[in-house]
Chain A
Amino acid sequence: MGAPFDIGYVFSFLPKLLDTLGVTLLIVAGSLLTGIVAGFLVALPRMYKIPVLRTLSGVYLSFFRGTPILIQLFLFYYGLPEILKLVGLDLTRAPVMFFVILTYGLHTGAYAAEMIRASVEAVDRGQVEAAYAAGMTPYQAFSRIILPQALGIAVPVFSNLVIALLKDTSLAFTLGVMEMTGKAQTLGTLTQHFIETYIALAFIYLIISFTLEKMLLAAERRLTRHENREDKRESIFRLKKRGSYRTVLADINIGKGGGA
Chain B
Amino acid sequence: MIALSHISKAFGRNQVLQDISLNVNRGEVVVILGPSGSGKTTLLRCVNYLEKPGSGQIAVGDFQVDCSRARRGDVLQLRRKTAMVFQQYNLFRHKTALENVMEALLVVKKLPAAEARKRSIALLEKVGLGAKLDEYPSRLSGGQQQRVGIARALALEPEVILFDEPTSALDPELVGEVLEVIRAIAREGITMIVVTHEMGFARDVANRVVFMDGGVIVEEGTPDEVFQHPKEERTKQFLRRITPEANYSI
Q: Interface residues, chain A, CB within 8 Å of chain B? A: 124, 126-127, 129-137, 140, 144-145, 148-149, 152, 225-229, 231
Chain B residue contacts of A231, Cβ below 8 A: 139
> With contacts A133-B50, A135-B80 known, is A226 near B94, CB below 8 A?
yes
27 contacts between A and B (CB under 8 A): A126-B86, A127-B90, A129-B86, A129-B90, A130-B91, A130-B152, A131-B92, A132-B50, A132-B79, A133-B48, A133-B86, A134-B83, A134-B108, A134-B156, A135-B108, A135-B156, A136-B104, A145-B92, A148-B94, A149-B93, A226-B94, A226-B136, A226-B138, A227-B93, A227-B136, A228-B138, A229-B138
Interface string of B19-62 (1 = CB under 8 A from A): 00000000000000000000000000000101000000000000
The CA-CA distance from A144 to B107 in the complex, in Å, is: 9
Chain A residue contacts of B92, Cβ below 8 A: 127, 130-131, 145
Chain A residue contacts of B139, Cβ below 8 A: 229, 231
Chain B residue contacts of A225, Cβ below 8 A: 136
A140 touches B107 (CB 8 A): yes
Task: Tell me if B84 counts as interface (CB < 8 A to partner A).
Answer: yes
B90 touches A126 (CB 8 A): yes
Tell me, rounded to whole Å, the shortest Cβ–Cβ distance linking A190 to chain B. 54
Of all chain B residues, the one with the shortest Cβ separation from A152 is B94
The CA-CA distance from A127 to B137 in the complex, in Å, is: 12
> Which of the residues B76, B82, B88 comes within 8 Å of A137, measured between beta carbons?
B76
Chain A residue contacts of B88, Cβ below 8 A: 126
Closest 9 CB pairs of A and B: A135-B80, A126-B90, A134-B104, A130-B90, A133-B84, A226-B136, A135-B108, A135-B79, A226-B94
Chain A residue contacts of B159, Cβ below 8 A: none
Tell me, rounded to whole Å, the shortest Cβ–Cβ distance linking B100 to chain A. 9
The CA-CA distance from A63 to B93 in the complex, in Å, is: 37
User: 17 new A-B pairs (CB below 8 Å) besides A129-B90, A136-B104, A140-B108?
Assistant: A124-B93, A127-B91, A130-B91, A130-B152, A132-B79, A134-B104, A135-B79, A136-B107, A137-B76, A145-B92, A149-B93, A149-B94, A225-B136, A226-B96, A227-B138, A228-B138, A231-B139
Number of A-B contacts (CB under 8 A): 71
The CA-CA distance from A226 to B100 in the complex, in Å, is: 13
Tell me, rounded to whole Å, the shortest Cβ–Cβ distance linking A7 to chain B. 50
Of all chain B residues, the one with the shortest Cβ separation from A140 is B107
Chain B residue contacts of A127, Cβ below 8 A: 90-93
> Which of the residues A137, A144, A152 comes within 8 Å of B103, measured between beta carbons?
A144
Residue from A129, A131, A225, A226 having most chain B Cβ neighbours under 10 A:
A226
Tell me, rounded to whole Å, the shortest Cβ–Cβ distance linking A241 to chain B. 20
B50 touches A129 (CB 8 A): yes
Chain B residue contacts of A226, Cβ below 8 A: 93-96, 136-138
The CA-CA distance from A243 to B84 in the complex, in Å, is: 48
The CA-CA distance from A227 to B107 in the complex, in Å, is: 24
Chain A residue contacts of B86, Cβ below 8 A: 126, 129-130, 133
Tell me, rounded to whole Å, the shortest Cβ–Cβ distance linking A128 to chain B. 9
B83 touches A136 (CB 8 A): no
Chain B residue contacts of A134, Cβ below 8 A: 79, 83, 103-104, 108, 152, 156
Residue from A129, A140, A149, A225 having most chain B Cβ neighbours under 10 A:
A129
Tell me, rounded to whole Å, the shortest Cβ–Cβ distance linking A223 to chain B. 8
The CA-CA distance from A103 to B245 in the complex, in Å, is: 72
Of all chain B residues, the one with the shortest Cβ separation from A135 is B80
Tell me, rounded to whole Å, the shortest Cβ–Cβ distance linking A132 to chain B. 6
Chain B residue contacts of A145, Cβ below 8 A: 92
Tell me, rounded to whole Å, the shortest Cβ–Cβ distance linking B103 to chain A. 7
The CA-CA distance from A149 to B104 in the complex, in Å, is: 18
Chain A residue contacts of B82, Cβ below 8 A: 133
Chain B residue contacts of A133, Cβ below 8 A: 48, 50, 79, 82-84, 86
Of all chain A residues, the one with the shortest Cβ separation from B77 is A135
